[in-house]
Amino acid sequence: MQFWVYMLECADGSYYVGHTDSLERRIAQHHAGDVPGCYTFNRRPLTLVWSQEFPSRMEALTSERQIKGWSRAKKLALIANDWPRLSELAKGRAQAQKSLAETAGAGSPCEERGSTGSPRTDVGGMRMHDSVKDKDLEWMRHAFALAERAEREFDEIPVGAVLVDADGQVLGEGWNRNILDHDPSAHAEIVAMREAGRVSGNHRLVGTTLYVTLEPCAMCAMALVHARVARLVYGAGDPKTGACGSVFDVIADPRHNHRVEVLGGVLGDEAGRRLTNYFRAKRGRPLV
């Protein structure tokens, strides 16, 4: 199955970047104003100005999020297939960030970051940097352990989440408790943020990072925005209800008054396999 990343020019001159498994169908949906959670419905007519095919949804999703964070100049260079200009713009930004870091006494240059807050990977043949940090892997494994408790102790769907502050201290953690608490809102992310709010004595969780094993749904994505969480790192994408790029892109809507940096697919294969095996076991099917 192939996936596409595409860019639309809106009537107001802005650009919309998305991904899909059927480019023709998705463009038709945009023209009809039938893409759920998308702001292009009131910015028509739309023009498809760029698209590229990718072999997997995760690669398409990663590229989509990176391009969304690009400046208008970089997007125009991409549309024109002007790779020398694109490279020049990337180097110019990297040099500016290096100078800023040195001025601030950071001691090391900052890497260019997109809307995900992550260093670049390959996009359209242009070489960037790896995006996953050691601490991201460590905290995702911690979230895996929480997910295991959900399944082992409560027979809940194994999704775990942990919220840490800028100093790496745990403020809240949890796992799915929908069945246990008879609460449709008790997703792992909500449980972790509720605990963090109680611990910090504040409904705003500024400067924090949430690690969760599954891409948040629309409810949890909006809770992250309302709580002013700085960064989201998730494991497996959710092709049915994911609201951070897979099905909806609620969290990246430019109309929000807060931006959450997003990094998806961290230990994504393992996260997806754990969830798949939970449901296969429920149905008496062999594990993968």
Place of tokens 């007519």: 45
User: Quick one: tokens of 215?
Assistant: 């891409």
Residue partners of 41: CB distance under 8 A and separation at least 6 = 33, 35
Asked about 189 being catalytic, the answer comes back as: yes
Kind and range of the H or E run holding 52: strand 47-54
For residue 22, the one-letter residue type is S
Q: Which residues of 61-97 are buried (b: 16+ CB within 10 A; e: fewer)?
A: bbbbbbbbbbeeebbbbbeeeeeeebeebbeebbeeb
Active-site entry in 112, 156, 189, 215: 189
| Structure-derived torsion over alpha carbons of residues 42, 45, 50, 52, reported in degrees to the nearest 10 | 70
Residues known to be catalytic:
189
